[in-house]
Amino acid sequence: MSEEVQLPATLTRSDFEFPNQTNVYKGKVRDVYSIGDDLLVMVASDRISAFDHILPKGIPFKGQVLTQIAAKFLEATRDIVPNWLVACPDPVVSAGYRCQPYRVEMVIRGYLAGHAWREYKAGKRIICGVAMPEGMKENDRFPEPIITPATKAEEGHDEDISREDILAHGIVPEAEYLQMEDYTRKLFQRGTEIAAKQGLILVDTKYEFGTRNGEVYLMDEIHTPDSSRYFYADGYEERQAKAEVQKQLSKEFVREWLMANGFQGLHGQTMPFMPDEFVQTVSSRYIELYEMIVGEQFVPIVSDNITARINSNVKTFLQEFKG
């Protein structure tokens, strides 16, 4: 009989009342608190979502992993594009400037994987108005990265959209959209270079942008396992030649586990029970990804009362913040 798994405390919900708080938005993973007119406090919970459904258990240290990876990549790309981040007052909290978001996610793909592969396998050769070459196999590299935008849905699934439709419907003004495309390609190139130094391939990712003081700003997180897919570079070519599954660091293995247990978020399907052993496996994979991408040992911050810690740290930050 195996020993019972003892999982550390997780943060699966937050209900803070910070000084000068004006609003709160609760997303699938993050809770975003508006402070005054110009500041946002983003709390990365340990919730995990797949197929647009939140899974029933939190993943230990997931919020810390996401917050710290995103902070490192935002700092590493400030020379490319201005971004919203000011500070991380707590291991799971990012604080920064409020931007007016564009209702489009900039998805960029260097390889035929995930959603793009599912579309390709179904016989489609155009995605978001972009042609995909004939004769490709799953996980093959595109001749050059393709941008496949998605409309941001308030609820339910985001939907593919073409550049032409974005401009035709006035979702983003043309000059700003072209700026977003340029930033997207440059960010993906930088992320690809950083990943390569760590023996990884950045397969695909997404970026979110907004405006602040008339400028396009990079928002939210970047290059985390929730927003990106990574392959191990070592053995990639051999696996492709043999049509083997690529070894990857992403949330895809969670989706695969759900599919193997009969769940794809479709009507009438029931979310499967998550054993603690599986939860621990997911946590270990997130930590592994942090260490692989960042090239540093992950130092988990364990707290019996995560909520009290966050509340104290954020209030101290707000008292000292000068804007």
Residue 68 confidence (pLDDT) above 50? yes
- Round to whole Å and give the CA distance between 219 and 197: 25
What is the pairing mode between strands 93-97 and 100-111? unpaired
Mean pLDDT, the chain, rounded, equals 93
Residue 250 confidence (pLDDT) above 80? no
- Round to whole Å and give the CA distance between 294 and 197: 10
2 band by pLDDT with thresholds 50, 70 and 90:
very low
CATH number of the structural domain 21-320: 3.30.470.20
Percent of all residues in the chain with a pLDDT value above 70, rounded to a whole number = 97
pLDDT on residue 4: 59
Residue 31 confidence (pLDDT) above 80? yes
Give the CA distances from residue 181 to residues 149, 188, 231, in Å, rounded to whole numbers and listed in that order: 10, 11, 24
pLDDT on residue 252: 78
153 band by pLDDT with thresholds 50, 70 and 90:
low
The residue extents of the domains of the chain are 21-320
